[in-house]
Amino acid sequence: MSKILVTGGAGFIGSHTCVELLEAGHEIVILDNFSNSKPEALNRIKKITGKDFKFYEADLLNLSDVEKVFKENDISAVIHFAGLKAVGESVQKPVEYYHNNITGTLMLIQAMRKYNCKKIVFSSSATVYGVNNPVPYVETMPTNSSTNPYGYTKVMIEQILKDVYVSDNNWSVVLLRYFNPIGAHKSGLIGEDPNGIPNNLFPYIAQVATGKLEALGVFGNDYDTPDGTGVRDYIHVVDLATGHLNALNYALEHNGVEAVNLGTGKGSSVMDVLHAFEKACGKELPYVIKPRRAGDIATCYADTHKAKELLGWEAKYQLDEMAADGWNFTKNNPNGL
């Protein structure tokens, strides 16, 4: 039976997507180098689904390791998550980000082409919309700028995949532009488990709730938003995972290149998220107002029409459920996986 290769499948979004793929009856193969994930995530996927799968601990930069996966398995499509993704870190380490994300993807594409696997769902990001587009972001808007090297790797990989299709129309490419994924699987067995002090809002609040961190620093309350704090389109990670399942089914049936936003179409402020988490954990959480963070924009949220029309997908979960499920995971795994 043909299988779906999931690169970065041990990670936050990758592991949730693997659960949905397995429960939908797909056979999967996971490739991961554990640079931002842990082997325990693989055990948790098996525990949730009761299903097994092949795993390769490998780095996309090693072409022979990547080709081995295709040589040993009949791969019909790839969902490509593997990549470095910390915005701030990418400003400090641009060479590592361009090499790891771009060269890694080029190695993957070369191996796919060699083994005649020409269907890929790529983990892109709303950061490709840059700072000059009006909200809500629409897929037809220009996406040729970013505010950081991480965002530029997504812009460049989208361009590479578009050019691959132009060179060979047998390819099928779906570029999924995520907004802000948060929350966790309802089992509380998998969730966001970042290494070190979290860069992102939601896992940071989670660690304030466990007492691991003292207080949330709110990066600016003087934006042109309802309560002055940054507004983002937070989407439940399980909604994001089912979006990948729909995108994969679309890619298996079509050729061409499609960019699709995966968001809720609704903006929530930093304070909205903090209050939702307080409701979930049943206690007030301390915060202090800090200066704005470099590179941040005031407001970012998705236009969701294309996902509904093309993929038959829309987000189901609201912010309160994202917070409740995120807290459930944190409560059950205070020290991560």
Name which of 224 and 253 has its Cβ closer to ligand WQD.
224
The residue count for the chain: 337
Identify whether the C-beta of residue 145 lies closer than 8 Å to the C-beta of residue 130.
yes
Q: Can you tell me the distance from the alpha carbon of 6 to that of 81, in angstroms, rounded to the nearest whole number?
A: 7
Q: Output the smallest distance, CB 197 to ligand WQD, in A.
A: 9
Beta carbons within 10 angstroms of residue 332's beta carbon: 12
Give the shortest CB-300-to-ligand WQD separation in angstroms: 6
Q: Which range of residues in 36-44, 72-80, 214-222, 256-264 is near ligand WQD by CB under 6 A?
A: 214-222
What is the rounded end-to-end Cα distance, in angstroms, of the chain? 31
> Minimum distance from CB of 199 to ligand WQD (Å)?
6
- Does residue 280 sit in helix, strand or coil? helix
The DSSP bridge pattern shows strands 256-262 and 75-80 to be: unpaired
Backbone angles phi, psi at 295, to 5 degrees: 95, -15
* Contact range with ligand WQD by CB under 6 A, out of 23-31, 45-53, 98-106, 197-205: 197-205
Contact status: 296 vs ligand WQD (CB under 6 A): yes
**Bridge partner residues of 235 (DSSP):** 181
Type of residue found at 64: S
Nearest to 92 by CA among 199, 176, 250: 199
The single residue of 56, 97, 129, 150 carrying the catalytic annotation is: 150
Least distance from ligand WQD to the Cβ atom of residue 84, Å: 10
In the beta sheet, which residues pair with residue 176?
123, 260
- Told to judge if 178 belongs to the known catalytic residues of this protein, a careful annotator would answer no
Interacting residue with ligand WQD among 35, 187, 199, 255 (CB under 6 A): 199
Q: Which of 98, 115, 165, 219 binds ligand WQD (CB under 6 A)?
A: 219
Q: For the sheet with 119-125, list strands across it.
A: 54-57, 28-32, 3-7, 75-80, 119-125, 172-178, 256-262
Smallest gap from Cβ 204 to ligand WQD, in A, equals 4
Q: How far is the CB of 143 from ligand WQD (least distance, A)?
A: 13
3-state secondary structure of 9: coil
Closest by Cα among 141, 137, 144 to 159: 144
Q: Does position 36 bind ligand WQD by CB under 6 A? A: no
- Check binding of 217 to ligand WQD (CB under 6 A): yes
Q: Which of 28, 31, 218, 248 contacts ligand WQD by CB under 6 A? A: 218
Q: How far lies 68's CA from each of 57, 65, 99, 108, in Å?
A: 12, 5, 21, 11
Cβ closest to ligand WQD, residue 188 vs residue 228: 228
How far apart are the C-alpha atoms of 57 and 246, rounded to whole Å?
A: 27
Nearer to ligand WQD, 73 or 127 (CB): 127
Site string for ligand WQD, 241-280 (x = CB under 6 A): -----------------------------x----------
> Strand, coil or helix: what is 32?
strand
Q: Does residue 85 belong to the site contacting ligand WQD (CB under 6 A)?
A: yes
- Is 94 a binding residue for ligand WQD by CB under 6 A? The answer is no
Residue 81 engages ligand WQD in binding (rule: CB under 6 A): no
Query: If binding is defined by CB under 6 A, does position 30 make contact with ligand WQD?
Result: no
Comparing CB distances to ligand WQD, the nearer of 1 and 288 is 288
Cβ(29)–Cβ(73) under 8 Å? Answer: yes
Question: Is 324 among the residues that bind ligand WQD (CB under 6 A)?
Answer: no
Alpha carbons 90 and 247: distance in angstroms, whole number: 28
Q: Which of 7, 33, 90, 125 binds ligand WQD (CB under 6 A)?
A: 125
Residues that bind ligand WQD (CB under 6 A): 85, 87, 125, 127, 178, 180, 199-201, 204, 217-219, 230, 232, 270, 293, 296
Residues annotated as catalytic are: 150
